[in-house]
Amino acid sequence: MYFSDHGAPGFLIFPHDSLYADELENTIKTMHNNTMYKELVMFIEACESGSLFQNMDLSALNAWALTATNATSPSYGTYCYPHDSIND
């Protein structure tokens, strides 16, 4: 799973909704308990994205997460064309 958008401590932000860490954990647990995956890998590019997994035991769920930053730092996403610029 890959997610790239906005985040804040403890949740991800969608255009019209949010996903909180406890909701994500419950979803992963439900998927694991119902054998909906063998292994789950999540890549999260959002500010404070490390906060989503602070209290989660992913190894017990056969899941892994790679986040763009820790629980307290912005991720400073980079935007491409037409907003890209090198030396003006």
- Whole-angstrom CA distances from 55 to 36, 52, 79 are 22, 8, 31
**Cα angle at 77 between 10 and 48, to 5 degrees?**
15
Contact of 63 with 49, CB cutoff 8 Å: no
Which of the residues 6, 16, 32, 83 is marked catalytic? 6
Q: 6 an active-site residue?
A: yes
The residues carrying an active-site annotation are: 6
